[in-house]
Amino acid sequence: MTTGSGPNLVLLHGWGMNAAVWSPVVESLARHYRITLIEMPGHGESEYDPNQPDLDGWVNACLSVAPERAVWIGWSLGGQLAQRAAVLDPDRIEKLVLVTSSPKFVVGDDWPHAMALATLKLFAKALSRDHHQTLERFLSLQVQGDDAARETLRLLRQDIALRPEADPLALEHGLDLLLTVDLREGLTAIQCPMLWLFGERDTLVPADLCDEIERILPASEILILQGCAHAPFLSHPQQCLRALNHFLGSNNA
């Protein structure tokens, strides 16, 4: 799906979501950029190949429908796909914007600022019983602590309903990616400019992660968005647009 004209921007959503979640910022961005909205495998109208359940399979599926060269903006799990795309095919990625994303979503050795492994394992167990209920709980966690939590949750529910439901097997495999992927070693191989946006009140990707990112990637730009939880482009779209325009070298509002 494409809209607008100008330099290429790719927008890549997170686990269990679809392209409609970018609705609060797409119209503004499309005035100055050509936007390609990519839906991850098995999400929205994107078909799912169960024989390609690993991260590289998902990344290659996204690269196959992306412009030859673009700025990639990835939210949450979409940010991990964008990070990996910049390693697998660096000539395709002009700049990276990682929105409340991480190279590793669960706590590990020397990696304290992440979700507890037990939390995601509970999600995986619940997903096998009732994926609708599990997604609803995940939506609530994404807005927890946000100073616009109620409205943001309403927008998330509304936008997700605009597109086809995610494939249950894709949800299962995507949760496996959240549990297992660790991109820390490859981060220093990424040569393009990077902007990391964190939500001050995010309970899924804590803002304290910025210290680890600064240590690994001292040249990256890092911004903590005040009052925001895990979906800042929904809860605080103007704040996000200002950050994007500054990073992209634009004065557009």
Q: What is the dihedral of CA 195, 16, 184, 188, to 10 degrees?
A: -40
**Category of 211 on φ-ψ map: left (φ > 0), alpha (ψ -120 to 50) or beta:** alpha
Binding-site positions for substrate: 15, 76-77, 138-142, 230
Q: In what order do the strands lie in the sheet with 8-12?
A: 2-3, 34-38, 8-12, 70-75, 93-99, 194-199, 221-225
Q: CA 114, CA 101: separation in Å to the nearest integer?
A: 10
* Residues listed for the chain: 253
Q: Nearest 5°: phi and psi at 117?
A: -55, -40
On the CB side of 6, CA atoms within 13 Å amount to 14
Q: CA 156, CA 38: separation in Å to the nearest integer?
A: 17
Angle 45-168-14 from CA coordinates, rounded to 5°: 60
Task: Give whole-number Cα distances, 86 to 90, 105, 193, in Å.
Answer: 5, 19, 11
Catalytic residues: 76, 202, 230
Binding-site positions: 15, 76-77, 138-142, 230
What are 10's strand-pairing partners? 36, 72
